[in-house]
């Protein structure tokens, strides 16, 4: 098991580039199952979650070639509509094969995902959407068994905004007979990227990027090539790396409007920005002002940057509160940040942060992907050495983060223990 050793307190400078968005690539990989032929995805990051999804698609019958930043998926011979427990338990995004398999083969057997470090994460909304489209769902022996002779367009309203359920519903509805309306749909850029990919394949989805999607079913979809959007969460993590170390840095290959909510909060903290088409230069606040924040669905502040922003606020001059309305219990990073001498307590699912002058390096443990990123940020700012164990979590979602951070002057190394 690898770990990171970070010697903190160093200034960073220069340019750091953002890779393709994991959370767009994963659903788009599932979407390729809808066409009989070879789709080609470019700007694909090198990540363990992408490898896990590739493995699952191979099990289902697709042929995959995953080389430097490019992923070729030939879904011609897809014939085995099953996502086994061993794979789904490793990565929840596996549940995204449900919609495409139903649409393509009329059946799917997908292991019921269990809990995970950031919350209970049910799939009731995914199943409700499939049922509305005419699928029969049975839960047996830990598996979702879904069958549908024919999918028929329907009105699907989500009581809560769900990225995953919106994507699954969209991927099933594109081949359903007639019109599907999805209301209270998720509008995250990754959902929009998936919808645009489906449209490129021949689907007819309008309202892309809004909370009301209208889908006119088509008979056939075709394989296509597409470049993946940059990862807004990675971009945000890098901006916060600059901010927490009070360093001027430039984040390149990003879409600034995708992280407007973060930029707004960082401005309130005292940061300034020079924003260009695809890059953001951060001029950090030297005195960090405390800023309250509530994570909510897009375009509000993303839950996937909550932990990293919280790490930043640990060094604010004053007190503030942070809540996460998407995953209200997503605070596993708090105990570890407190090991670095942050001063945070959780009260009624709200993190109350009293800023400290300096954090101090210590051994800590990564518990999930974004919590690990928060610990890296804290380690970069903390005085002395921070050792982060279990960094396989970070390898699920950040493409060579230590190499990228070394490129802007961070003293971080990966060691095998």
Catalytic residues: 116
Residue with smaller CB distance to ligand EPZ, 75 or 93: 93
Torsions phi, psi of 291, nearest 5? -135, 125
CA distance 209 to 293: 23
CA distance 227 to 233: 18
CA distance 163 to 304: 12
Least Cβ distance, residue 116 to ligand EPZ (angstroms) = 8
Given strand 412-416, what is the order of strands in its sheet?
Answer: 363-365, 385-389, 2-7, 412-416
Least Cβ distance, residue 322 to ligand EPZ (angstroms) = 15
Residue with smaller CB distance to ligand EPZ, 66 or 158: 158
Contact string 341-370 vs ligand EPZ (x = CB under 6 A): ----------------------------xx
Contact string 304-323 vs ligand EPZ (x = CB under 6 A): x-------------------
CA atoms within 13 A on the CB side of 271: 31
Note whether 378 binds ligand EPZ by CB under 6 A: no
From residue 37, how far is each of 50, 79, 128, 173, 340 by CA, in Å? 20, 13, 30, 20, 51
Cβ-contact 74, 38 below 8 angstroms: yes
Note whether 93 binds ligand EPZ by CB under 6 A: yes
Residues 18-77, interacting with ligand EPZ (CB under 6 A): 23, 26
Look at the alpha carbons of 224, 225, 227, 231 in this order and tell me if their dihedral is positive or negative.
Answer: positive
Note whether 113 binds ligand EPZ by CB under 6 A: no
Contacting residue, 326, 366, 388, 391, with ligand EPZ by CB under 6 A: 326
Note whether 163 binds ligand EPZ by CB under 6 A: yes
Residue with smaller CB distance to ligand EPZ, 30 or 271: 30
Residue with smaller CB distance to ligand EPZ, 35 or 93: 93
Least Cβ distance, residue 417 to ligand EPZ (angstroms) = 24
Contacting residue, 77, 124, 257, 274, with ligand EPZ by CB under 6 A: 124
CA distance 156 to 220: 22
> N- to C-terminal Cα distance for the chain?
6
Closest residue to ligand EPZ: CB criterion: 164
CA distance 334 to 348: 14
Burial category of 343 from C-beta neighbours within 10 Å (exposed 0-12, middle 13-18, buried 19 and up): middle
Least Cβ distance, residue 187 to ligand EPZ (angstroms) = 11
CA atoms within 13 A on the CB side of 117: 13
Residues 174-203, interacting with ligand EPZ (CB under 6 A): 186, 188, 190
Residue with smaller CB distance to ligand EPZ, 263 or 374: 374
Note whether 165 binds ligand EPZ by CB under 6 A: yes
Least Cβ distance, residue 121 to ligand EPZ (angstroms) = 5
Look at the alpha carbons of 388, 12, 227, 129 in this order and tell me if their dihedral is positive or negative.
Answer: positive
Contacting residue, 126, 232, 258, 265, with ligand EPZ by CB under 6 A: 126
Least Cβ distance, residue 161 to ligand EPZ (angstroms) = 6
Helix/strand/coil percentages in the chain, nearest 5 = 35, 25, 40
Note whether 160 binds ligand EPZ by CB under 6 A: yes
Contacting residue, 20, 99, 164, 189, with ligand EPZ by CB under 6 A: 164
Size of the site for ligand EPZ (CB under 6 A): 27
Least Cβ distance, residue 18 to ligand EPZ (angstroms) = 15
Least Cβ distance, residue 26 to ligand EPZ (angstroms) = 5
Q: Which helix (H) or strand (E) holds 285?
A: none
**Whose CA is closest to 151, among 214, 213, 105?**
105
Binding site for ligand EPZ (CB under 6 A): 23, 26, 92-93, 118-119, 121-126, 160, 162-165, 186, 188, 190, 303-304, 326-327, 369-370, 397
């Amino acid at each position: 098991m690898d770990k990171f050793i970070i010697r903190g307190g160093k200034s960073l400078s220069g340019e750091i580039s953002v890779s393709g968005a994991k959370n767009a690539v994963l659903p788009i990989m599932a979407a390729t199952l809808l066409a009989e032929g070879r789709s080609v995805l470019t700007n694909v990051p090198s990540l363990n979650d992408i490898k896990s999804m590739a493995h699952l698609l191979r099990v289902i019958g697709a042929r995959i070639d995953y080389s430097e930043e490019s992923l070729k998926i030939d879904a011609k011979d897809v014939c085995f509509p099953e996502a086994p427990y061993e794979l789904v338990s490793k990565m929840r995004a596996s549940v995204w094969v449900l919609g495409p398999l139903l649409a393509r083969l009329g059946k799917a057997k997908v292991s019921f995902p269990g809990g995970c470090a950031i919350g209970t994460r049910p799939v009731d909304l995914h199943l409700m959407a499939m049922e509305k489209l005419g699928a029969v769902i049975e839960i047996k022996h830990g598996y979702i068994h879904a069958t549908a002779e024919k999918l028929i367009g329907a009105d699907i309203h989500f009581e809560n905004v769900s990225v995953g359920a919106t994507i699954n519903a969209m991927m099933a509805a594109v081949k359903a007979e007639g019109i599907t309306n999805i209301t209270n749909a998720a509008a995250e850029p990754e959902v929009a990227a998936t919808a645009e990919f489906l449209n490129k394949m021949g689907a007819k989805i309008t309202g892309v990027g809004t909370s009301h999607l209208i889908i006119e079913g088509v008979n056939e979809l075709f394989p296509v090539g597409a470049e993946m959007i940059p990862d807004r969460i990675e971009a945000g993590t890098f901006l916060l790396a600059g901010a927490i170390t009070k360093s001027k840095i430039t984040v390149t290959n990003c879409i600034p409007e995708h992280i407007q909510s973060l930029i707004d909060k960082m401005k309130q903290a005292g940061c300034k920005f020079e924003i260009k088409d695809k890059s953001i230069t951060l001029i950090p606040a030297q005195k960090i002002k405390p800023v309250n924040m509530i994570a909510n669905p897009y375009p509000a502040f993303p839950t996937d940057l909550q932990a990293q922003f919280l790490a930043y606020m640990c060094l604010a001059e004053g007190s503030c509160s942070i809540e996460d309305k998407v995953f209200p219990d997503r605070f596993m990073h708090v105990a570890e940040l407190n090991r670095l001498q942050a001063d945070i307590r959780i009260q009624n699912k709200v993190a109350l942060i009293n800023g400290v002058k300096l954090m101090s390096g210590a051994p800590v443990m990564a518990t999930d992907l974004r919590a690990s990123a928060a610990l890296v940020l804290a380690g970069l700012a903390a005085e002395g050495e921070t050792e982060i164990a279990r960094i396989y979590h970070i390898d699920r979602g950040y493409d060579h983060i230590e190499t990228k951070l070394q490129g802007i002057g961070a003293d971080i190394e990966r060691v095998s223990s």
